Amino acid sequence: MNVNKIKELSEKYFPEMVETRRQLHKNPELSYKEFKTTEFIVERLKRLGYDVKRPMETGCVAVMEGGMTSDRVLALRSDIDALPITEVGDHKKDFLSLNDGVAHCCGHDVHMANLLGAAHIISDLKDQIKGRIVLIFQAGEEKLPGGGRLLCENGILQELGVTEIYGLHTDPRLAPGQIGVRPGAFMARPDEFEITIYGQGGHAASPHLTVDPIVMTAQIVSMIQTIVSRNIDPNEPAVITIGRIEGGTAHNVIPEKVKIWGTVRTFGAEMAHLIRDRMEAIVKGVTESAGGSYEYHFNEGYPAVINTPWAVDNIRIKALQAFGDKSIIDLEKPIMAGEDFAFYLEHFPGSFFFLGSGSEESGAVYSWHHPKYNADEECMRTGSVLMASLALNSDHESA
């Protein structure tokens, strides 16, 4: 398939992609509650001739049979959920969220519009497709247990015979027209922890009659930070962040308890479990020595995103053919953010990549999950072409 034809169709459908993105942006829905979003997507896909399946209450899987026989079954994935954030930003004033406290401040609206644009191109050129194309519009990326995990456990992708899978994420660090790729470790494993420190409350003027959970918490917070610096090989990436501490009611009251919430980012279960166990040892030691007690919960999140090298090469080839070598940004290091695309890569070979979406002109200079997050819509000219090219032009045989 001539890549120029794909680019021509992307240009044809680009205005609709922009309109779709803004419509979805104005009407965001939280994880596993994407009911109207799902109906919007299903209607579009059925209109394009896809066989649409609903293996979960929200989200969908759409199938297009190609015109040429092959065992190849290539899947393309978009997530569809929004965040519990109140967004702001003049650059989005014409399409700000209409749902209070809910917003697409992570780019999933762009992901959906981009894949729907690719769906148009694939539908127009279906006679030239080898094998089968599976489009995944996945619920619940932002919330455990992760819609990717649920779909993999459901078995529908295995039943459809998926042989390779690709997904993307907008990236404000890169400009439209650029894509960020990296074989192997790409994104981290995000685990979460919750600690409750119990003491004995009392008057602030009589601390000797209390067991102060705030003092214990201060010691624990400081000591937890030594795990990475003293228990982890310096060549191994790991992050422990405490994001929330809650305790106390007044300036002159020593409280009964303090709660701590945080996250651990690593690239493997062994490292994560080492941190988990060291953290509990610290909490146990501090509370017992002070006469307090504790509760500790470590919630395992998504696995790390580990890209298949040959699938990354597929992306490189398609980007090179469509946009030239300046479009390809080789990322030197993985990032510590997490993504439930990792679950797909535990079951199928494939690759995740970053789609450059940052620009001053569109105000797309803020990081993911910021209330002013935006994406330059020009990125969909690149994303739709690349996704459609993977579907239409891959000669790779995964065996």
For the stretch 38-81, pLDDT in tens is 999 999 999 999 999 999 999 999 999 999 999 999 999 999 99
Judge contact between 164 and 398, C-beta under 8 A: yes
Q: What is the spatial distance between Cα 298 and Cα 103, in angstroms, rounded to a whole number?
A: 28
Biggest CA–CA distance in the chain, Å, is 81
- Reduce the secondary structure of the chain to three states and give it as a string: CCHHHHHHHHHHHHHHHHHHHHHHHHCCCECCCCHHHHHHHHHHHHHCCCEEECCCCCCEEEEEECCEEEEEEEEEEEECCEECCCCCCHHHCCCCCCCCCCECCCCHHHHHHHHHHHHHHHHHCHHHCEEEEEEEEECCCCCCCCHHHHHHHHCHHHHCCCCEEEEEEEECCCCCCCEEECCEEEECEEEEEEEEEECECEECCCHHHCECHHHHHHHHHHHHHHHHHHHCCCCCCCEEEEEEEEECCCCCEECCEEEEEEEEEECCHHHHHHHHHHHHHHHHHHHHHHCCEEEEEEECCCCCEEECHHHHHHHHHHHHHHHCHHHEEECCCCECCCCCHHHHHHHCCEEEEEEECCECCCCECCCCCCCCCCCCCCHHHHHHHHHHHHHHHCCCCCC
Q: Confidence class of residue 395 from pLDDT cuts 50, 70 and 90?
A: low
What's the token pair of residue 262?
Answer: 């945080």
Instruction: Indicate the pTM of the whole model.
Output: 0.92
Average confidence (pLDDT) over 114-134 = 96
The pLDDT tens digits of the residues spanning 267-282 come to 999 999 999 999 999 9
Average confidence (pLDDT) over 333-342 = 95
Q: What is the spatial distance between Cα 4 and Cα 80, in angstroms, rounded to a whole number?
A: 29
Residue type, 346: E
Quick check: 153 pLDDT over 90?
yes
The pLDDT tens digits of the residues spanning 106-123 come to 999 999 999 999 999 999
Average confidence (pLDDT) over 319-341 = 96
Task: Give pLDDT, residue 2.
Answer: 82
Long-range CB pairs of 319-327, under 8 A, 24+ apart, other chains included: 319/179, 319/386, 321/3, 321/389, 321/393, 322/3, 322/6, 322/7, 322/382, 322/385, 322/386, 322/389, 323/177, 323/382, 323/385, 326/178, 327/177, 327/178, 327/179, 327/382
The pLDDT tens digits of the residues spanning 345-377 come to 999 999 999 999 999 999 999 999 999 999 999
Judge contact between 306 and 188, C-beta under 8 A: no
Judge contact between 102 and 111, C-beta under 8 A: no
Catalytic: which of 81, 142, 340, 376? 81
Catalytic: which of 79, 109, 141, 377? 141
Fold entry, domain 3-188+304-393:
Aminopeptidase (3.40.630)
The pLDDT tens digits of the residues spanning 204-262 come to 999 999 999 999 999 999 999 999 999 999 999 999 999 999 999 999 999 999 999 99
Task: Give pLDDT, residue 397.
Answer: 44
Q: Catalytic: 141?
A: yes
Q: Is the dihedral of CA 368, 109, 19, 93 positive or negative?
A: negative
Higher pLDDT, 275 or 397: 275
Quick check: 185 pLDDT over 60?
yes
Domain ranges of the chain: 3-188+304-393, 190-299
The pLDDT tens digits of the residues spanning 372-388 come to 999 999 999 999 999 99
Task: Give pLDDT, residue 398.
Answer: 41
Q: What is the mean pLDDT of the chain?
A: 96
Quick check: 399 pLDDT over 80?
no
190-299: what CATH class? alpha beta
Q: What is the spatial distance between Cα 27 and Cα 96, in angstroms, rounded to a whole number?
A: 9
Q: What is the spatial distance between Cα 18 and Cα 84, in angstroms, rounded to a whole number?
A: 23
